[in-house]
Amino acid sequence: MADISRTRDIAEGDESAPWWRVVERDGGRVVEAGGPWIVMALRGLEPGAANPPAAARAIDIKAVTALDTAGVTELLHLRRAAGGCPIEGADEARSGLIELVEKNARQAAAAPPPVPLLIAILNDVGESFTRFLDRSARLLEYFGEVLVIIAKGLLRPGRMRVNATIVQMREVWIRALAIVAVLCFLIGVVVAYQGVEQLKQFGAETFTVEAVGISILRELGVLLTAIIVAGRSGSAFAAQIGTMRVNQELDAMQAMGLSPVEWLVVPRIAALTLSMPLLVFWGNAMGLLGGAFACEIYLDFTVSQYFARLRDTVGINHFWVGMIKAPVFGFVIAAIGCYEGLQVKSDAESVGRQTTTAVVEAIFFVIVLDALFSIFFLSVGL
Amino acid sequence: MSTAAQASGEPAARPPLAEGGQITDRRDGRDRVISLRGIRNKFGTTNIHRNLDFDVFRGEIVGLVGGSGTGKSVLLRTIIGLHKAKEGSIEILGQATASASEARLANLQTRWGVLFQEGALFSSLTTAENIELPLRERARLRESKLEELAALKIAMVGLPPDTAGKKPSELSGGMKKRVGLARALALDPELLFLDEPTAGLDPIGASAFDDLIRQLQRSLGLTVLMVTHDLDTLNAICDRVAVLLDKRVVAGTMEELLAYDHPWVRGYFHGPRARAAGIGGDSGRRRGT
């Protein structure tokens, strides 16, 4: 192969670009090709079909300085345009290359025809429907298995995997304390500040304490914590289990007769169901503290005045309404995270996709459940 | 070429190596496609390679072998530029990679192809898109040309045409390797690096892959450097074998290595597996070089 710079830009008449021309020679019309017919230089070549040479006696490639498979495909196009004449001037190596490409190009061209559009649409509809049925069946199977294993564990507590649960609790509870504290505190401050601003117009700014207390205890504390946990732990569950699927760790477990649901899923669900109330309690405390902080600054309430008023005016029922939701949300977030992790196929892309799905679905279900809880508590008068 | 720079520390029993870590010089006036001089690689406090010289000449297939932990993959990664050597110089296709400008390095990268062990296909792209990617990004061809070349490369590595639309997750291990090879060949490189090309393939698939590499190497005029543990591959298609011994490369033909006096080499080329592969015995006449 001649040494040619492959980086130079290809310009008209440049020696680094492939070219061909039609000449009259030896009593016939011959297409002469020259320059580098290689993949990095082909950009400069006019498509053969756009400007076809008339039927020629031969294609002469003696002047071709370099040739590779991509170049050969263009030569073959040129030959087809020139009426299928023979290619001349190739040495043994180049003839071999041309033969190789010719043979494989024939095979590549034998690709099956595309499916008609209507059939393709019907295929798509059918496929998504069976996928939906399949998915529903798998979801049912999964929840069944989770509940059976939890029931077994409750009947025989010795079977529960306590160590794994505690390890997970450290991850989802202890390590989440800081972020939950900061965010709930800030929300407490924000609610109190807004309360003071709005209620001042009616001269009712002291009711800020009730506004903060009720909104944090009933809704904001638990919702905010659930969203943090979904983003933090739900996604981690999906990614951990999904990566284990990619590494075939789940297959290895099943081959040993160990159920991934028992070993991986149930400890995570138990850990998060137990951790959520603890986190929500902590978050509530921090939210109320944030409210106290804001009230001290904007309202000249001392902290003890604030808490005294809170105790006198905000019933304990508000606290319980919030706390009851916590384990339910924890269960839902963990169950969805683990389920999506198990749905990972054996490639990296699906780990990312299932992790995203886990977080979005978890937050979606948390908010839907929160709405259902609100209706329920309203109707029972709590 | 006479015997050149020779490091101390070689046992007296073994004759000094020729240039580029060879047992006897087999250059025969060919270009050096890869030329390593004085490479040192270090992990923590241990040297993996020290004072390592290694040459690969144009148009040959070289197998790189060595025990676990001798740094075969590290050496391959060093040559490709994924790992930076502590010391030493690397010249590939006449270019010193350490001092090359970014543009020259990018140009150089279009002239080699790499097949990673598991294929390393981009899992979000179809087979055809995987092969088109280097063509689109580096050669800037028009769309229809990309499809044509991808289909050609798929046929060249012996896959059926309908592989083009499949995602890597739908392919078997052997098919992934073939697609990886097709992607490595996308830009018609002069130099091909293969990391354990036949690992994980069944014997029939492995020998078909060997044949494929040999056939492509001949018809495309490739130079191939492969890390392998497959003694059948070494015996069937490698012109020379490079062994990582005592942090350096000792390279030679199979015959030379069979006669080489070193405990690891003896264990490797005279072991039961080597005999099973037909190495060493009279029946094991290699194909002519």
The full DSSP string for A167-236 is HHHHHHTGGGHHHHHHHHHHHHHHHHHHHHHHHHTTT-GGGHHHHHHHHIIIIIHHHHHHHHHIIIIIHH
Instruction: Find, in chain A, the residue whose alpha carbon is nearest to that of B104.
Output: A7
Contacts of A7 in chain B (CB under 8 A): 103-104, 106-107
For A34, the 3-state DSSP assignment is: strand
Please, are residues B220 and B141 in contact by the beta-carbon 8 Å criterion? no
What is the C-alpha separation between B248 and B39, in angstroms, rounded?
9
> B8 CB near a chain A CB, below 8 Å?
no
Output phi, psi for A63, to 5 deg. -85, 0
Contacts of A40 in chain B (CB under 8 A): 110, 138-139, 187
For helices B143-156 and A69-81, give the axis angle rounded to 10 degrees.
110
Count how many Cα atoms sit within 13 Å of the Cα of residue A33 in the half-sphere of its side chain: 31
Please, are residues B59 and B25 in contact by the beta-carbon 8 Å criterion? no
Q: Do A70 and B188 touch (CB under 8 A)?
A: yes
Of A1, A42, A108, the CB nearest to B161: A108
Contacts of A108 in chain B (CB under 8 A): 148, 151-152, 154-155, 161
Contacts of B152 (CB under 8 A, 6+ apart): A69, A73, A101, A104, A105, A108
Residues 4 to 33 of A: which have CB under 8 A from any B CB? 5-7
Query: In terms of DSSP bridges, do strands A28-37 and A19-25 run parallel, antiparallel, or are they unpaired?
Result: antiparallel
How many whole angstroms from its chain centre is CA B237? 12
Burial group, residue A129, by CB count within 10 angstroms (0-12, 13-18, 19+): exposed
Q: Which two tokens stand for residue A209?
A: 């304490």
All structural domains of chain A: 3-109 (3.30.750), 161-379 (no CATH)
Please, are residues A198 and A290 in contact by the beta-carbon 8 Å criterion? no
What is the C-alpha separation between A124 and A131, in angstroms, rounded?
10
Please list the alpha-helical segments (H only) found in chain A: 69-81, 92-109, 117-155, 162-172, 177-200, 208-215, 221-229, 235-246, 249-255, 260, 266-299, 303-313, 316-342, 348-380
Query: What per-residue confidence (pLDDT) applies to A11?
Result: 41
CA of A107 to nearest chain B CA: how many angstroms apart? Answer: 6
> B190 CB near a chain A CB, below 8 Å?
yes
Instruction: Find, in chain A, the residue whose alpha carbon is nearest to that of B143.
Output: A43
Q: Do A69 and B155 touch (CB under 8 A)?
A: no
Strand partners, A88: A60
Please, are residues B166 and B127 in contact by the beta-carbon 8 Å criterion? yes
Query: What per-residue confidence (pLDDT) applies to A111?
Result: 63
Instruction: Find, in chain B, the residue whose alpha carbon is nearest to that of A44.
Output: B141
For helices A92-109 and B143-156, give the axis angle rounded to 10 degrees.
100
What is the C-alpha separation between A309 and A302, in angstroms, rounded?
11
Nearest 10 degrees: CA dihedral of B3, B8, B13, B17?
-30
Residues 310 to 369 of A: which have CB under 8 A from any B CB? 345-350
Regions in chain B scoring below 50 on pLDDT: 1-12, 282-289
Amino acid at A270: A
What is the C-alpha separation between B167 and A246, in angstroms, rounded?
16
Please, are residues B117 and B195 in contact by the beta-carbon 8 Å criterion? yes
For A126, the 3-state DSSP assignment is: helix
Instruction: Find, in chain B, the residue whose alpha carbon is nearest to that of A96.
Output: B219
SS3 assignment for chain B: CCCCCCCCCCCCCCCCCEHHHECCCCCCCCCEEEEEEEEEEEECCEEEEEEEEEEEECCCEEEEECCCCCCHHHHHHHHHCCCCCCEEEEEECCEECCCCCHHHHHHHHCCEEEECCCCCCCCCCCHHHHHHHHHHHHHCCCHHHHHHHHHHHHHHCCCCHHHHHCCHHHCCHHHHHHHHHHHHCCCCCCEEEEECCCCCCCHHHHHHHHHHHHHHHHHHCCEEEEECCCHHHHHHHCCEEEEEECCEEEEECHHHHHCCCCHHHHHHHCCHHHHHCCCCCCCCCCCCC
Please, are residues A321 and A218 in contact by the beta-carbon 8 Å criterion? yes
Please, are residues A298 and A193 in contact by the beta-carbon 8 Å criterion? yes
Please, are residues B57 and B33 in contact by the beta-carbon 8 Å criterion? yes
* Residuewise pLDDT in 10s, chain A (382 residues): 333 333 333 344 456 788 888 887 777 788 888 888 888 888 767 655 455 667 778 888 888 888 888 888 888 888 887 777 888 888 888 888 888 888 888 877 766 677 788 898 999 999 999 989 988 898 889 989 899 988 888 888 877 788 889 999 999 999 999 999 999 999 999 999 999 999 999 988 889 999 999 999 999 999 999 999 999 999 999 999 999 988 888 888 888 878 888 889 999 999 999 999 999 999 999 999 999 999 999 888 899 999 999 999 999 999 999 999 999 999 999 999 999 999 998 777 889 999 999 999 999 999 999 999 999 999 998 7
Query: What per-residue confidence (pLDDT) applies to A193?
Result: 93
Instruction: Find, in chain B, the residue whose alpha carbon is nearest to that of A114.
Output: B162
Q: In what order do the strands lie in the sheet with B32-43?
A: B46-57, B32-43, B87-92, B95-96
Query: What per-residue confidence (pLDDT) applies to A2?
Result: 37
- ipTM, interface predicted TM-score of the complex: 0.71
Q: Which two tokens stand for residue A273?
A: 């169901």
> B118 CB near a chain A CB, below 8 Å?
no
What is the C-alpha separation between A188 and A283, in angstroms, rounded?
10
> A247 CB near a chain B CB, below 8 Å?
no
Against a cut of 0.95, is the pTM above it? Answer: no
Of B123, B139, B168, the CB nearest to A39: B139
For A91, the 3-state DSSP assignment is: coil
Query: What per-residue confidence (pLDDT) applies to A47?
Result: 55
Contacts of B164 in chain A (CB under 8 A): 111
